[in-house]
Amino acid sequence: MADTNMMRRLKRRKMLRQAANLVLLYGGMTALAVILIIPFLWTLSTSLKHPAEVFAFPPRFIPQQIHWRNYADAWMRVPFGRYFINSIIVSCSVTLGQVFTSALAAFAFARLDFPGRNKLFLGYLGTMMIPGQVTMIPVFIVCKQLNLIDTYAALILPGLFSAYGTFMLRQFFLTIPKDLEEAAIIDGLNYWQIFTHVIVPLSKPALFTLGTFVFLGAWNDFMWPLIVTNADSMKTLPVGLAAFQGQYSTDWTLLMAGSVIVLTPVLLLYIVNQRFITKGFVMSGLKG
């Protein structure tokens, strides 16, 4: 009798303690999340303000008047619209191209037997160690000599091949059970058909993850487009935005509108695929 009362009291105390811990935990995590989101919110808020409000003190998150015009201005005037289109063209082309060439090469390395295969693959792995800064100067020179500066070719072609993508897909292809391909061989498929009918359908998640990564990388790429474009009409969004900053360094509302334009596709892509993306980042890290 006394025992059950004590038990009940102890249990209640424990539950209270656990509830308190939970409140603290969620409170802390939420506070951190809010702090992290503030810069994004500030970007959005600034993009909708009147220029005079940008540095008002004390700072306000909600603009007095919402200036949608800023976006129209950014799109037309700057012209972020042009940059946006360039980024789309370049990012999509690079994504499709890189995934395709990497898949082909990964299939060759994983399943086809040819002389020098392993040595060549080690060579590929080796190039992953070379920082881009070493190769960018000669590639730039070549582009310049071939008059490819300020062309889509210069923006897209170097990005069509990736040792990393090849490596990742090869590791994945190796996990596909071999007897499926053998059944296909006996059924009479040639290697191209095996690639398209067996390997590709089974690799959809891996291809998709790689594609997302490549797209993100191409969309966010700054240094190479910077080097290879001078004309305003050919700049991609990141470069265009940076250049714009040089020109209109105090026009913060337009700059922030531009930032929102750059950020939005990325954030959308991320929210939709976040599990793929975070998993991919981790795998690329730990297994690299």
271 near other proteins, rule: CB under 8 A: yes
**Stretch of 1-9, 18-26, 69-77, 88-96 contacting other proteins, by CB under 8 A:** 18-26
Task: Look at the block and give the residue holding tokens 């059970």.
Answer: 177
Among 58, 118, 122, 247, binds other proteins (CB under 8 A): 58
Alpha-carbon torsion 135, 136, 140, 141, what sign? Answer: negative
Ramachandran class of 282: left when φ > 0, alpha when ψ lies in -120 to 50, beta otherwise: alpha
Span 126-165, contacts to other proteins by CB under 8 A: 127, 129-142, 144, 157-158, 160-161, 163
CB of 119 to other proteins, least distance (A): 13
CB of 201 to other proteins, least distance (A): 5
Of the pair 8, 205, the CB lying nearest other proteins is at 205
CB of 65 to other proteins, least distance (A): 19
Distance of CA 236 to the CA centre of its chain: 15
CB of 130 to other proteins, least distance (A): 6
Query: How far, in Å, are 18, 19, 23, 25 from residue 11 at the CA level?
Result: 11, 12, 18, 21
31 near other proteins, rule: CB under 8 A: no
Query: How far, in Å, are 45, 68, 139, 186, 201 from residue 183 at the CA level?
Result: 59, 60, 44, 5, 16
**Stretch of 11-19, 74-82, 148-156, 269-277 contacting other proteins, by CB under 8 A:** 269-277
101 near other proteins, rule: CB under 8 A: yes
- The burial of 261, by beta-carbon neighbours within 10 Å (0-12 exposed, 13-18 middle, 19 or more buried), is given as buried
Helix segments in 128-203, DSSP class H: 132-145, 152-156, 163-174, 178-187, 191-194, 200-202
**Stretch of 67-75, 88-96, 147-155, 251-259 contacting other proteins, by CB under 8 A:** 251-259
Among 1, 36, 52, 231, binds other proteins (CB under 8 A): 36
Which DSSP symbol is given to 149? T
Q: Which helix (H) or strand (E) holds 251?
A: none
Q: How far apart are CA 166 and CA 187, in angstroms?
A: 28
Of the pair 6, 200, the CB lying nearest other proteins is at 200
Q: How far apart are CA 70 and CA 255, in angstroms?
A: 9
Span 60-99, contacts to other proteins by CB under 8 A: none
Q: Residues binding other proteins: what is the number (CB under 8 A)? A: 110
24 near other proteins, rule: CB under 8 A: no
CB of 141 to other proteins, least distance (A): 7
